[in-house]
Structure 1
Amino acid sequence: MVNYRYLGNSGFKISEITYGNWVTHASQVENEAAIKTVHAALDAGITSFDTADAYANTAAEEVLAEALKGQKRENLEIFTKVYFPIGNKGPNDTGLSRKHIMDGIHGSLRRLNLDYVDLFQAHRYDHETPLEETMQAFADIVRQGKALYIGVSEWTAEELREGHALAQELGFQLVSNQPQYSMLHRVIEEKVVPASEELGISQIVFSPMAQGVLSGKYLPGQDAPAGSRATDEKSGADFIKGLLRDEVLEAVQKLKPIAEDAGLTLPQLAIAWVLQNQNVASAIVGASRPEQLADTVKASGVTLEADVMSAIEKTLSDVAVTDPELTYSSAPKERLV
């Protein structure tokens, strides 16, 4: 079963592995199959579920609601997000203005068929809205009981400090950040993680398997497997292109004996690696087939020995992305419409 960790400096616990439906529900995977994977996640002990209003232009939230129908609400931790354009994608259908945040929480609750979400997240930083306006709206949502906790996604260390300070002034907690993080993408380590540790903010990381590259199924010099994410324009093919270089794929293949010596599969090694970082509360995983989750959840509770961590570091040192300056390019400078 899956272990739990506290989220930030709060009393709220989430499962070390979170089920996410970014590129699967209402997109890559048919609804019936999506519902089966959610049920498999529940059977495996996953109780934390991450979605967003922008996923499949709101349809992913509806699929998740259908999949969780009949589950005891108090036994689940449900996260969603607001920022990216949704609906008709008009001038106020995007960003972190008070209007869009309020419209966002009401729309998400309606689609998810919930009275509240456990975690409501700013999907990116909005450079066009005063941060005070954004944080006041979040404070009001918490006071209204529509969200229990507030988090963000892909914020820089400086943005986290400013947001945390305003949250304290307004009487609520900023408990989490949701960045991309994996063996191959480590840009948060130098600035974001230390700032978060100081502030009492956890990371809920996405793409811990680097869009599936760390599964080892993509081989150097060969076409991507049929039906994989790299071949499906609807399921994130653009996101994975930069990782499909031969030097990256060759390095990943060298991880196989390291995983085998540790008694793990490559996906388990990838998930276990991000969970070695104690500032990481949970790793978000997706699945297109229920059986994939049975393998993934076995990474929870695994401790990687120092020699294993060292071997991974040596193997990927030439291909891992570590530049902290890349955290400053994660949020658009202008709202997307």
Structure 2
Amino acid sequence: MSKLKIYIPILCFMNTACITNTPEICPKSTPEVLEHLNQVYYGKNNIRIFYTTQGENAISDKADHNHNNIPDYIENIAIQINTVMQAWDALGYQNPLQSPRYKSAKYIDIHIQKLSGLGIAYSKAHLHTNNPLKKNECALIISLSNNIPNFTTRSSVAAHELFHLYIYGYTMFKPKWLNEGLAAWSEGIITKGQTGAYGTISLPKTKEKFEQTFIQSSYQASKVWSSITLLVDQSNEKLPLPKGLLQTKYIDGKPVFQDHYLKGTVFIHEFLKDLGQEDKRLSQQNNWEPYNWKDSTQKSHIYNKNILSVLHRKLEKNPKEYNKKNSFKKILKQEIN
């Protein structure tokens, strides 16, 4: 994938954070791929999808079964993104476009292109100047593959990448065990079962297992997150979402929601809000601009202790359940002390 060329005056200090000349940044950039994405589809809720039907970035499936001159592949991506966004918003989560971090952003732009993987969500908003279809508007960016197989029956990749934007809107912390782990958990909002995309695992009882299955993990860390949600969420209720939303279907008639369950939506919501308070405390303590941490700082394991402290405090609000997992509780306390 082409690297973004960014033009913005930046002053870095202390090798940890960067200060810019404005708190609301939308750096200009010119990713080469955008020069080839010559079509745009406007979805609901300020979603724009940029794509092409020609060249190496062309969508592989150009079927248009409803004969509206928009490929079903594009419409189905828009349906998944919009439906999942409405679901998280209805559950009380802060829409990324409403986050103080992204005051400059007007749209969530989806770039459909050739990728080595299936998707990428970027934590910085961008103003792309090399495609007139962008209309010189600041946007949050998600790149999705032009060839996602079985999209309406087996794929939740668009939902996964969207949740990254929700995470970024709450907190600057993004080590993989947190960022990818929670995004994989979030796929459970439309996939079958009460937990995230990778299921669950017994909560680790040793420091070695804690590191292996959680801290040094990425997508698979969702197994631990899902197990935590099972611990704190003892309900067996359906997601409190509007009936009409739960009945949303793709162009081929397949349902977006494979069932109506996901454990831990309240807990994760509160946890993300508390993480946001913790990173603001760190910013103030270190005299950093609150939304302009260096990317390496955001991903750093140096601040695992801070994240785990927030998790421990949240779990202590469920003492009956937390105390049942004494080995896990003991490891957490060791990690933060």
Please tell me whether Structure 1 or Structure 2 has the larger radius of gyration of its CA atoms. Answer: 2
TM-score range, shorter chain: under 0.3
TM-score, L = length of structure 2: 0.25
The structure whose RCO (Cα within 8 Å, separation 6+) is larger is: 1
TM-score, L = length of structure 1: 0.25
